[in-house]
Amino acid sequence: MQLNRISHRKKILVMFLGLTLAFVLLFVRLIYLTVWRSEYYTEQATRLHERERNIKAARGRILDRNGAVLADNKTVCTISVIYNQIEDPERVIKVLSEELELSEESVRRKVEKYSSMERIKSNVEKAVGDRIREYDLPGVKVDEDYKRYYPYGELASKVLGFTGGDNQGILGLEVTYDEQLQGEDGVILTVTDAAGVEVERMGERRIEPVAGNDLRISLDRNIQSYATQLAYQAMETKEAEGVSILVMNPQNGEIYAMVNVPEFDLNDPFALPEGTEDSLDSKEQQDLLNNIWRNGCINDTYEPGSTFKIITAAAGLESGVVTPSSTFSCPGYIIVDDRKIRCHKIAGHGSEDFVHATMNSCNPVFITVGLRLGVERYYEYFEEFGLKKKTGVDLPGEAGTIMHKMEDMGNVELATVSFGQSFQITPIQLLTTASSIINGGNRITPHFGIESIDSEQNVVETYTYPITQGIVSEETSATMRGMLEMVVKEGGGKNGQVEGYRIGGKTATSQTLPRGTGRYIASFIGFAPAEDPQVIALAIVTNPQGVYYGGQVSAPIVRQLFENILPYLGIEEDVQ
């Protein structure tokens, strides 16, 4: 009996001590949570009763080389509703449907939806947002926002690109430099009670947005505008399908203009041509838009024709298989294996040296140079000049060169490649390679981006681009400049002459594929001054009607362009 009492007391004591220890531990835990962790749990409790509304950051502007604003921001509003705070649903539905020009049915679905917040419409004009704010409707939120705005409409549309509803880049430079242009969104924090109604005395907390950085690019608004004017003029007078014009500094790769007409309105990029909305299904509409947005200078390849003889000539001179004084005889054709390939002059050019063969754009002579090089060595120069790689231009969607595999090339394929047929490159690739040959032999990277600038006008980042030196020697480069100057001075590029300036260049007239359809591409590359090139341009006219030769269709475009922009760029006339 006594032992049972002692055992019972021990059990009570153990239980008491256990409970006391548990109480002490709970008390210590309570002190820890209420003192040392109080700030954390206060924050968590606040978050539980806070509702967030994003404040979009202003996207960085895009500026031309002289500071002209090409892409800006326009203040707009986002209209939202908070279900638990709406006091008069019918009035809210009526006001929003009328002011936002939406159907009552669509507004009602969102107003009556039980959710923390429902967006009714974004990108609302500020004047409309201000009117809705004046109604002072409980549960209706009007937050100021930003929408991309392009002051010059169509100008450089396929270069600049545009943004979507979330202000993210969709096309062009807006995509390439999206990370730099995007800012950091801010937040409006509103405290609510358990029912989700705002606690008025608590007010709002704001985390302010941080604007994105501005982007300064090499494009010159004035040169782009004039080149666009010339392109539309040529498209109209020649009834062409399209016209592309590229203008670049051949010394460093800065692109002054990139025109692809027809262009599209950057402020309404999803607009379809009149009459197509009802006749096309959604997939056909999207395909049409993709075609409208397509930048032919970088997205499309074509057979360059005789402008590519610049590359063949440079390879021949660099390798030593030909010199400017080498002589040839052109009977109007050349036999390669079992193939008779004609010169554009059926009667032939007769006896001529290499300079005059270049001036005459004589196919048999350039085929001869290609055959002297041979497949393997020609292919090596093709790769050494950078033609097998993309240029690295800072725009999305650059196409690569379409070229025979070396093991599949015979003499006939080599012959046709030598004068610019049976393979395809992009216009930007052709202009970049030609620039690298005439600038002393340095392969440059074509580009637009120059620098990023913050809101206080500090340069955040200056962009640099690769240069490959010595793809041809200085001697070969100088010889090429002299030969191409003769093409414009006395040869097929006469229509590219500009009074007071020494101009170099090369014409081309190529057929589109499939051959025999009567469709042609007329083009001309021109550069100035011929002795020290500071600007180079390429004009391509697709399927001109009537006369379709590059020397008569495209060379005058570059001439008119140079007549205006050479003085503008500060390039002095030749006083000799």
CATH class of 255-263+295-568: alpha beta
Task: At 76, give phi and psi (nearest 5°).
Answer: -130, -175
Model pLDDT for residues 340-390, shown as the tens digit of each residue: 999 989 999 999 999 999 999 999 999 999 999 999 999 999 999 999 999
Model pLDDT for residues 203-254, shown as the tens digit of each residue: 566 778 888 999 999 999 999 999 999 999 999 999 999 999 999 999 999 9
Listed residue (286, 312, 440) closest to 378, CA to CA: 312
Per-residue CA distances from 275 to 278, 279, 280, 285 (Å): 7, 7, 9, 11
pLDDT tier for residue 275 given thresholds of 50, 70 and 90: confident
Domain ranges of the chain: 51-217, 255-263+295-568
Query: CA angle 274-278-281, nearest 5°?
Result: 115
Per-residue CA distances from 320 to 272, 326, 354, 440 (Å): 55, 11, 13, 18
Q: Which among 17-31, 62-76, 121-135, 178-192 has the top mean pLDDT?
A: 62-76
CA distance 244 to 231: 7
Q: What percent of the chain has pLDDT over 90?
A: 72
What mean pLDDT comes out for the span 45-65?
74
Using the predicted structure, report yes or no on whether residue 115 has a pLDDT greater than 80. no
pLDDT at site 195: 47
pLDDT at site 38: 64
Give yes or no: 306 in active site.
yes
pLDDT at site 204: 61
Q: Which among 87-91, 275-279, 487-491 has the top mean pLDDT?
A: 487-491
Amino acid identity at 28? V
Quote the pTM value. 0.86
Using the predicted structure, report yes or no on whether residue 43 has a pLDDT greater than 70. no
Q: Please tell me what DSSP assigns to residue 266.
A: T
pLDDT at site 191: 61
pLDDT tier for residue 24 given thresholds of 50, 70 and 90: confident
- For 95, residues 6+ apart whose C-beta sits below 8 A from its C-beta are 132, 135, 137, 140
Angle between helices 363-384 and 309-319 (to 10 degrees): 80
pLDDT at site 189: 66
CA distance 78 to 129: 8
State how far Cα 444 lies from the chain centre.
18
Using the predicted structure, report yes or no on whether residue 410 has a pLDDT greater than 90. yes
Instruction: Give the helix ranges, DSSP H, for 385-444.
Output: 411-418, 427-438
Tokens 């760029």 found at? 569
Angle between helices 221-237 and 555-568 (to 10 degrees): 160
**Separation of first and last alpha carbons in the chain:** 134
Q: CA-based Rg of the chain, rounded to a whole angstrom?
A: 34
- Output the six-digit token pair for 124: 């609302």
Torsion of CA 511, 256, 295, 59, to 10 degrees: 180
Bridge partners of 538, per DSSP, are 246, 525
Active-site residue, from 306, 435, 452, 523: 306
Q: What is the mean pLDDT of the chain?
A: 90
Tell me if 416 sits within 8 A of 403, measured CB to CB. Answer: no
Q: Please tell me what DSSP assigns to residue 454.
A: -
Listed residue (427, 384, 383, 433) closest to 403, CA to CA: 383
Exposure class string for 21-51: b at 16+ Cβ within 10 A, else e: eeeeeeeeeeeeeeeeeeeeeeeeeeeeebb
Q: Please tell me what DSSP assigns to residue 162.
A: -
Using the predicted structure, report yes or no on whether residue 306 has a pLDDT greater than 60. yes
Residue 247 DSSP SS3: strand
Amino acid identity at 383? E
CATH topology of 51-217 equal to that of 255-263+295-568? no
What mean pLDDT comes out for the span 462-483?
97
CA distance 304 to 521: 9
Superfamily per CATH, domain 51-217: Penicillin-binding protein 2a (Domain 2) (3.90.1310.10)
CA distance 529 to 525: 13
What mean pLDDT comes out for the span 429-440?
98
Listed residue (218, 216, 215) closest to 178, CA to CA: 215
Q: Which pairing describes strands 62-63 and 214-217: parallel, antiparallel, or unpaired?
A: parallel
Peptide bond into 262 cis (omega under 30): yes
Per residue, the 3-state secondary structure of 489-551, as one string, reads HHCCCHHHCCCCCCCEEEEEEEECCCCCCCCEEEEEEEEECCCCCCEEEEEEEECCCCCCCHH
Listed residue (428, 386, 436, 441) closest to 538, CA to CA: 428
Amino acid identity at 436? S
Model pLDDT for residues 496-510, shown as the tens digit of each residue: 999 999 999 999 998
- Output the six-digit token pair for 414: 């080599």
Long-range contacts of 401-407 (CB under 8 A, 24+ apart): 401/301, 401/425, 401/426, 401/429, 402/301, 406/375, 406/376, 406/379
Amino acid identity at 219? L
Using the predicted structure, report yes or no on whether residue 430 has a pLDDT greater than 70. yes
pLDDT at site 48: 46
The secondary structure element, H or E, covering residue 90 is: helix 89-99
Q: Which pairing describes strands 535-542 and 520-528: parallel, antiparallel, or unpaired?
A: antiparallel
Using the predicted structure, report yes or no on whether residue 198 has a pLDDT greater than 80. no
pLDDT tier for residue 190 given thresholds of 50, 70 and 90: low
